[in-house]
């Protein structure tokens, strides 16, 4: 670092576990950019001060993670249409003191899914587990990419209904349905893409799955947003059943790549970003 170094970073609480600094600093090094990325642990009550510091210190931008993705929106000058629909921001870009909020999670997920599996989304019938913030972003991006059919399953049926209603206003041509989790088993037979957006199966609870293995079949592509562990119980069960699988680590990498591209206006070195993240995850647990 020197007096010309541009700063970027992460606002969250906690942030000590984050792999984002490792990933982004590797990307800046690969492209020879004098930019650094740091993780800032910000108490919820101080998020407004943290956002003000982006302007005051001239940071190029930041990523935003739990628990600030929603509360940060009130402190920004502009919010992208996609982020507004999702109701959360994970990327802030500082354009000469004007702070613009984006959400790259959904697009990062779809880019990962398509590039890593070759799936043709316009031919799929998807079943999504969960209706929270991650699900909103992923569903928005899937439908924007031409997915024709989506069933949203959630423990609280009302939350699934709300998401389907919101999606239907933007994508009236899509065939959308909301169900409760008790109905999931009956829906898997006709699904070709299963998207798992809940925290069930995340480290350290790696022996649980949101779906009974008996409902998995070889006609499914099973995608889990969780990336720690790399292979969740759901993915292990799916592989045993003959289904294709897709890990969640790609979403983490590509959402970061999109943030990187907003800040630098250059194409992110995804291969190198993936390599450093995979190395860290392999040796973490």
d(CA 242, CA 251): 23
Are 194 and 113 in contact, with CB atoms under 8 Å apart?
A: no
The reply to whether 256 sits in an annotated binding site is: no
The reply to whether 90 sits in an annotated binding site is: yes
Residue whose tokens read 């592989």: 239
Q: Which of 69, 149, 214, 233 is catalytic?
A: 69
The reply to whether 77 sits in an annotated binding site is: no
The reply to whether 132 sits in an annotated binding site is: yes
The reply to whether 255 sits in an annotated binding site is: yes
- Assign 271 to helix, strand or coil: helix
DSSP state of 122: G
d(CA 227, CA 248): 5
Reply yes or no on whether 69 is catalytic.
Answer: yes
> In what order do the strands lie in the sheet containing 61-64?
35-41, 6-12, 61-64, 91-95, 98-102, 78-79
Backbone angles phi, psi at 80, to 5 degrees: -60, 150
Torsion angle, alpha carbons of 5, 78, 86, 202, to 10:
20
The reply to whether 225 sits in an annotated binding site is: yes
Kindly state the greatest CA–CA separation across the chain: 61
* Secondary structure element (H or E) that encloses residue 178, with its range: strand 175-180
DSSP state of 153: E
The reply to whether 65 sits in an annotated binding site is: yes
The reply to whether 133 sits in an annotated binding site is: yes
Helix segments in the chain, DSSP class H = 20-30, 47-57, 81-86, 105-117, 133-144, 157-170, 184-187, 233-240, 249-264, 270-284
The reply to whether 134 sits in an annotated binding site is: yes
The reply to whether 81 sits in an annotated binding site is: yes
The reply to whether 155 sits in an annotated binding site is: yes
Which tokens hold the place of 207? 């022996």
The reply to whether 176 sits in an annotated binding site is: no
The reply to whether 158 sits in an annotated binding site is: yes
The reply to whether 156 sits in an annotated binding site is: yes
Pick out the residues of the known binding site for shikimate.
18-20, 65, 90, 105, 227, 255
Pick out the residues of the known binding site.
18-20, 65, 81, 90, 105, 130-134, 154-159, 225, 227, 248, 255
The residues annotated with a catalytic role in the active site are: 69
Pick out the residues of the known binding site for NADP(+).
81, 130-134, 154-159, 225, 248
């Amino acid at each position: 670092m020197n007096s010309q170094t541009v700063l970027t970073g992460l606002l969250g609480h906690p942030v000590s576990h984050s792999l984002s600094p490792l990933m982004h600093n590797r990307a800046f090094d690969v492209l020879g950019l004098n930019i650094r990325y740091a993780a800032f642990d910000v108490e919820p009550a101080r998020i407004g001060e943290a956002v003000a510091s982006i302007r005051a210190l001239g940071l190029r931008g930041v990523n935003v993670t739990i628990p600030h993705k929603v509360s940060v929106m009130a402190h920004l000058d502009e919010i992208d249409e996609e982020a507004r629909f999702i109701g959360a921001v994970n990327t802030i870009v500082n354009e000469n003191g004007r702070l613009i909020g984006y959400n790259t999670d959904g697009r990062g997920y779809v880019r990962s899914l398509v590039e890593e599996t070759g799936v043709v989304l316009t031919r799929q019938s998807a079943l999504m587990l969960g209706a929270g913030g991650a699900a909103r972003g992923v569903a928005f991006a899937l439908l924007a990419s031409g997915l024709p059919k989506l069933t949203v399953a959630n423990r609280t049926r009302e939350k699934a209904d709300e998401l389907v209603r919101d999606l239907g206003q933007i994508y009236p041509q899509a065939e959308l349905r909301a169900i409760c989790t008790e109905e999931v088993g009956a829906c898997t037979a006709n699904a070709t893409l299963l998207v798992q957006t809940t925290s069930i199966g995340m480290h350290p609870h790696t022996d649980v799955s949101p779906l009974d293995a008996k409902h998995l079949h070889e006609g499914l592509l099973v995608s889990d947003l969780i990336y720690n562990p790399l292979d969740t119980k759901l993915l292990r069960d799916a592989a045993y059943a003959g289904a294709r699988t897709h890990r969640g680590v790609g979403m983490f990498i590509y959402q970061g790549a999109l943030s990187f591209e907003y800040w630098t206006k250059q194409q992110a070195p995804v291969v190198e970003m993936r390599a450093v993240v995979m190395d860290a995850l392999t040796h973490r647990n």
